[in-house]
Amino acid sequence: MSDAPTPPPGTPPAGWHNDPSDPTSLRYWDGAAWTDQRSPRPVAPPESVVADTTWWKQWWAILIAVLILLIAIVAIVAAVSEDEGGTATSPPPATSPAEEVVEAEEVVEAEASASCPDGYTEFDGAYPLRICHKGETVSILQAQLVALGYDIDVDGFFGASTQTAVADFFSDGVGEIRVASDMELLIVCDEDC
């Protein structure tokens, strides 16, 4: 057995401990008594210097997570709308100017069949100008109505939209339409026109 005395119960083990005579330093306890070895107590950094690195507490991590979620939602909505409609909506194919004229004429012919069962007839200068007439005189009238703010196409066909614009012009009571020379129409406005 050893000749060293056993420390009393509750005695701390050997090592560096707070110095009982100086709270700013550490002192070595050999297991039975304090030695003359001393060391300055280490200073703990202030709590504000130690950053909390939990990922969900960082603003940039939250922003990235929200962006990923939004992208996923958009992708899901796009996939669902494609499945429901068969295909995604795509722009119409490009057409040449000649094809556009044909299409416009087809639209006008469709309008003619709805409002003009016999189709459009060329205006021969015998006034009044009526629905189902077509020609330069109709284009001039339409251009003047557009200049006054009426929303119609200047296509030379006196259809339902031109008829509505003329009726609105007269009901607004802002002027009159007169026949000028060479089969031209002239819109003469009052002060409000």
Every domain of the chain and the residues it spans: 1-44, 55-84, 119-189
CATH topology (fold) of 119-189: Muramoyl-pentapeptide Carboxypeptidase; domain 1 (1.10.101)
Asked if 120 and 108 count as a contact pair (C-beta separation under 8 A), the reply is yes
Three-state SS for 45?
coil
Beta bridge partners of 47: none
Three-state SS for 26?
strand
Distance CA(17)–CA(37), nearest Å, equals 11
Q: What is the pLDDT of residue 86?
A: 53
Helix intervals (H) in 86-147 = 97-115, 136-147
| pTM to 2 decimal places | 0.39
| Each residue's pLDDT expressed in tens, for the chain with a length of 193 residues | 444 445 567 778 889 888 888 888 889 989 888 899 998 888 776 665 555 666 656 777 788 889 999 999 999 998 887 766 555 555 555 555 444 443 444 544 555 556 677 778 887 777 777 788 888 888 888 888 888 888 899 998 888 888 888 888 777 776 667 666 555 555 656 555 5
Beta bridge partners of 16: 28
Asked if 158 and 134 count as a contact pair (C-beta separation under 8 A), the reply is yes
Q: What angle do CA 49, 51, 52 make, to 5 degrees?
A: 150
Distance CA(107)–CA(100), nearest Å, equals 10
Q: What is the pLDDT of residue 129?
A: 73
Please compute, for residue 193, the number of CA atoms within 13 A of its CA located in the half-sphere on the CB side. 20
Q: What is the pLDDT of residue 156?
A: 86
Reference 132, options 102, 152, 111; nearest CA is 111
pLDDT digit string, tens, across residues 33-85:
889 999 888 877 666 555 566 665 677 778 888 999 999 999 999 888 776 65
Q: What is the pLDDT of residue 99?
A: 46
